[in-house]
Amino acid sequence: MSKLYALIGYPLEHSLSERFFNDKFQVEKINAKYLNFPLKRISELKKLLKNNPDLYGFNVTMPYKQTIIPYLSSLDVYSQAVRAVNTVKVIKNSNSTLVNETNHSILIGYNTDIYGFEQLWNKNIGETCVKSVLILGNGGATKAVSYVLSKKNIKFFIASRTPNADNQIHYNDIWKKNIDFQVIINATPVGMYPLLNIIPPIDTSQISSSHTVIDLIYNPKQTLLLKIADKQGAKIINGYDMLIFQALKAWDIWTENHCF
């Protein structure tokens, strides 16, 4: 029987996950398929599970990486730490007390964004002397990025429209606080396909050759933010490596014989 895997989120026009996994299945002769399920509300998940009994795992993208948690049976150590989930394993026909009431399955939440971003960083930044990082946005992706930077003992600041912590600053104050950061990371969906002509609310005129700009968006390959940064001499990196590494980790989780 063919197994089904999927992506949930809204919207999903930008995603390359469906093509990546179906190409993988074809090349490796795996009897499975991967589909996109654009859910306008996370509450639609229950109906999705009920209507797709052959679903054995799914990825979660914006805006549901945090709101999906109440629908899950349990979380792995990483998703517990950051309170964000991007991968779910569906375990069928279990008698465990963790069974999901909708489809008699266990739904285990994982965060493979942490692994994906760490591999992106190691491949493109490595052990260079980065003392401080600016992260744009404060959503689920930022939680994964923050976890990795904390693990590496790298100081970081989070730009937000509503800063509410010591390491958070308003977008308008990024260049006013005299913060010396070497890396800027866009962890927002701003600039993602199909909205190609917008950038996060940051004064890009201050970006220079002393900066590395990472945009976690991978479609398009170069967001408008990266194009501007490139013209001003900054090193630029998109999110494609993170996409691939987190997807491969998700596949490892789905095909394991144990929950954790």
Please give the Cα distance from 118 to 147 (Å, whole number): 9
Q: What residue ranges in 41-171 does DSSP mark as E strands?
A: 55-60, 74-75, 87-92, 105-110, 132-136, 155-160, 168-170
> 115-242: which CATH architecture?
3-Layer(aba) Sandwich (3.40)
52/231 Cα distance (integer angstroms): 47
The reply to whether domains 3-111 and 115-242 share a CATH topology is yes
Task: Output the pLDDT for position 52.
Answer: 96
User: 65 an active-site residue?
Assistant: yes
| Superfamily of domain 3-111 in the CATH hierarchy | Leucine Dehydrogenase, chain A, domain 1 (3.40.50.10860)
Per-residue pLDDT at 99: 47
Query: Among 40, 50, 65, 143, which one carries the catalytic annotation?
Result: 65
Q: What is the pLDDT of residue 105?
A: 85
Residue 193 is which amino acid?
Y
Count of C-beta atoms within a 10 Å radius of residue 102: 14
CA distance 126 to 137: 23
Rounded to an integer, what distance in angstroms lies between the CA atom of residue 168 and that of residue 146? 12
Q: Residue-wise pLDDT tens for the chain (260 aa)?
A: 799 999 999 999 999 999 999 999 999 999 999 999 999 999 999 999 999 999 999 999 999 999 999 999 999 999 999 999 999 999 986 554 454 555 568 999 999 999 999 999 999 999 888 999 999 999 989 999 999 999 999 999 999 999 989 899 999 999 987 788 999 999 999 999 988 999 999 999 999 999 999 999 999 999 999 999 999 999 999 999 999 999 999 999 999 854 43
The domains of the chain are located at 3-111, 115-242
The pTM of the full predicted model, rounded to 2 decimals, is 0.92
